Amino acid sequence: MASMKTSGTITEETGAGFARDETGSIQPTIENFYKFCAEGKLMALKCNRCGAIICPPRIICPTCFHDRFEWNRLRGRGRLLTYTVIHFPPTQFQALAPYAVGIVKLEEGPHLPGMIRNVKPEELRIGMEVEVDFETALPKEWPRWPRYFFRATS
């Protein structure tokens, strides 16, 4: 396996099953991001050079093009920047329609896209406070990764 450079401390106790590099650090991959979701944690990468908070993870910092990161846990709270209501979804989401997907500006800065649950489409509004939550059941379709979604902050 090609080695990916990561360094720094892991700020959270983590379970088994994460892909790690030769130093034992959890690799900055989307698959590891979803494994954190399975533990109920929304995790971002923090760039070791410029400090950018990156979520979902990317292999290169979009701000300074650095490639060394550490994982940081986010609070999972933010405000809805924009949304759209899906009436004609892809087959695997048909049972959920109509449903909303949006982009949330997290408190820590990143803009994270996701489905918005537990809010009626007519009650959605730009700027509303939302928080991340996690599905407990794995989806039937590939990729069978746990999924996160947003709900209105109670």
Residue found under tokens 């979701």: 37
From residue 68, give the alpha-carbon distance in Å to each of 13, 35, 56, 129.
20, 20, 15, 32
CB closer to Zn ion out of 47 and 119:
47
Q: State the amino acid at position 114 in one-letter form.
A: G
| Cβ at position 103, least distance to Zn ion in Å | 21
| Cβ at position 43, least distance to Zn ion in Å | 17
CB closer to Zn ion out of 30 and 60:
60
CB closer to Zn ion out of 58 and 66:
66
Strand-pairing partners, residue 33, are none
Q: Using CB under 5 A, which residues numbered 31 to 90 contact Zn ion? A: 47, 49-50, 52, 61, 63-64, 66
- Are the C-beta atoms of residues 61 and 47 closer than 8 Å to each other? yes
Q: Using CB under 5 A, which residues numbered 79 to 138 contact Zn ion? A: none
Count the residues of the shown chain that bind Zn ion, applying the rule CB under 5 A.
Answer: 8
- Are the C-beta atoms of residues 21 and 6 closer than 8 Å to each other? yes
| Cβ at position 95, least distance to Zn ion in Å | 40
| Cβ at position 111, least distance to Zn ion in Å | 16
Q: Which of 87, 118, 124, 120 is nearest to 102 (CA)?
A: 124
CB closer to Zn ion out of 57 and 102:
57
| Cβ at position 6, least distance to Zn ion in Å | 14
Burial of 42 (0-12, 13-18, 19+ CB in 10 A): buried
Interface residues with Zn ion (CB under 5 A)?
Answer: 47, 49-50, 52, 61, 63-64, 66
